[in-house]
Structure 1
């Protein structure tokens, strides 16, 4: 069952990405709503235990799906963009909480304080830099975009702070996914508010799909630490 769902997810993702390249808007439109539900099913059947970690992960994917669907109609009015932005904002907040739960209580070979500050600074600088560039173009959306950018940077920082509190594989997948999420939203923002980018739809969806998948994989790879006697 797990492999079948994964294959279906990959097929739908390939269809969506291909449609972005060839400019088939109908195919892109009708394939997009199936991505997150398939990933939710994959997450559920792959999890070895039914826990709050699974439940919150599924909830984040659910709000991501709502955001996906709502943003499909953003050309009908600014309200749809705001609702989509709000859905993803909630998804990121849930991911932040999920990352806090997907941690060991005791640290093992974690980052040095100077390393942590350095990496956090890079993430904050990336978020602030993008907002600074976009500010003249945001208009009435300035406050919502700043709030959203702050939350997604916080999501990446919480992913970073799992280093040393989980396995290297779990940390790597989730942190990579968080950075990809930032990249996807950055491309979307530049394409929407500044100037159209070549095959922007492909790069937005490629980084987004890969981000969600790697985050799910990272959550699946997190295992509770067995106390040593």
Structure 2
């Protein structure tokens, strides 16, 4: 498999440094995936952070290279910020203490808000959703409403922050669909992000989710990877893309 396959096609201005960072992210995420059942603290925190931090660094590096003169790169700093807050949320959640849950929730809440800004900037004006987009929007809204209704009786003191979070992550997914990107990687990634957080919530407030850790990390990392690399490809990809 060529490196271009990892980035959904050839990316212009992707240097050996960016390639190394991407490989570091993939390898770290795989090691974390394979070892998370033992929760090898603090190695698990480091591995989890190294899954996301290199993606943020790639976005910042590509922005700083020519971002001040190339309009296609200016939004990359927003992508980098969203990935950075996601990395911070990963760290808080992996600390394992209930008192850090709200910190992790807050970090991801900020990440989703930043993603909303990022996707909104790509909306076509005037906004005219296609039939397939409308179907996706309705399905996501139904899913989120059902999930919120199912979780609600078990939330207790977390009711308000969790419901706010559900609204924001749903808005993030909807905004990614409405952006109408040329390839589906970004909105698919956003949907996987939503699924990952749904599994976390189900495990924490309902309990008994089979293969919870495996499902959470795989959907989360693939989702974030799809958003990050999909967006880079959207902005920097060559016309002869895969």
Normalised to the residue count of structure 1, the TM-score between the two structures is: 0.84
Out of 176, 189, 194, which is 2:206 matched to?
194
Structure 2 partner of 1:6: 22
Aligned to 2:111: 91
| Number of residue-to-residue matches in the alignment | 212
Structure of higher RCO (CA pairs closer than 8 Å, 6+ residues apart) = 2
Q: 2:223 aligns with which of 211, 215, 224?
A: 211
Change (3 A) 1:82 1:137: same
Show the 5 A alignment for 1:28-177: 28-45=44-61, 49-50=66-67, 51-75=73-97, 77-78=98-99, 80-105=100-125, 111-112=129-130, 114-163=131-180, 166=181, 168-169=182-183, 172-177=184-189
How far off is 1:103 after superposition? 4.0
CA change 1:72–1:118 in 2 (3 A) is: same
Q: Deviation of residue 106 (structure 1)?
A: 6.6
Deviation at 1:41, TM superposition (A): 2.1
1:179: which partner in 2? 191
**CA 1:2–1:115: 2 relative to 1, 3 Å:** closer
DSSP-derived class of the 2:210 partner: coil
How far apart, CA to CA, are the structure 1 residues paired with 2:24 and 2:133? Answer: 39
Q: Which runs of 4+ in 1 moved over 6 A?
A: none
Q: What is the distance in 2 between the residues matched to 1:7 and 1:132? A: 40
**Is the Cα–Cα contact under 8 Å of residues 176 and 214 in structure 1 kept in the other structure?**
yes
Contact 1:187 1:204 in 2 (8 A): yes
Gaps of 5+ in 1: 225-229
Supply the RMSD in Å over aligned alpha carbons.
2.1
